[in-house]
Amino acid sequence: MNKPNNTEEYIATFPEPVRRLLEELRQTIKSAAPQAKEVISYGMPAFKMKGVLVYFAGYEKHIGFYPTGSGIEAFKTELTPYKWSKGTVQLPLNKPLPLDLITRMVQYRVMRDGERK
């Protein structure tokens, strides 16, 4: 796969059910951080202000959501239903996305980004 130039190109490379979830995630992030700019970073869609707020990516069996280490640390007690690690959470394709949790995580990352100099 060639490196995508934008989020639309990235999402278009996936089968329809995954595209729908990726677009739902994208719109949730946009709503939570309307001032953020969409970029492609490390070959993945990302939202950026002073620094990158979050990344996301599609995989065969899950969507990877990358709210950085601080985003994971702040919400780790709410992430117990999911497989997660220091900087990522895996959202299974066969379950609804936790949109409220994602919104709060993005808002937290916006707040942390605002603290940057």
pLDDT in tens, 67-89: 999 999 999 999 999 999 999 99
Query: Domain-by-domain residue ranges, the chain?
Result: 7-109
Q: Which residues contact 41 (CB under 8 A, 6 or more apart)?
A: 48, 52, 55
Residue 86, Cβ density class (10 Å: 0-12 exposed, 13-18 middle, ≥19 buried) = exposed
CATH number of 7-109: 3.90.1150.200
pLDDT in tens, 25-37: 999 999 999 999 9
Please report the pLDDT score of residue 114 as a whole number: 81
Please report the pLDDT score of residue 95 as a whole number: 94
Nearest to residue 89, comparing CAs of 101, 100, 107? 101
Please report the pLDDT score of residue 116 as a whole number: 73
Please report the pLDDT score of residue 17 as a whole number: 94
Please report the pLDDT score of residue 72 as a whole number: 96
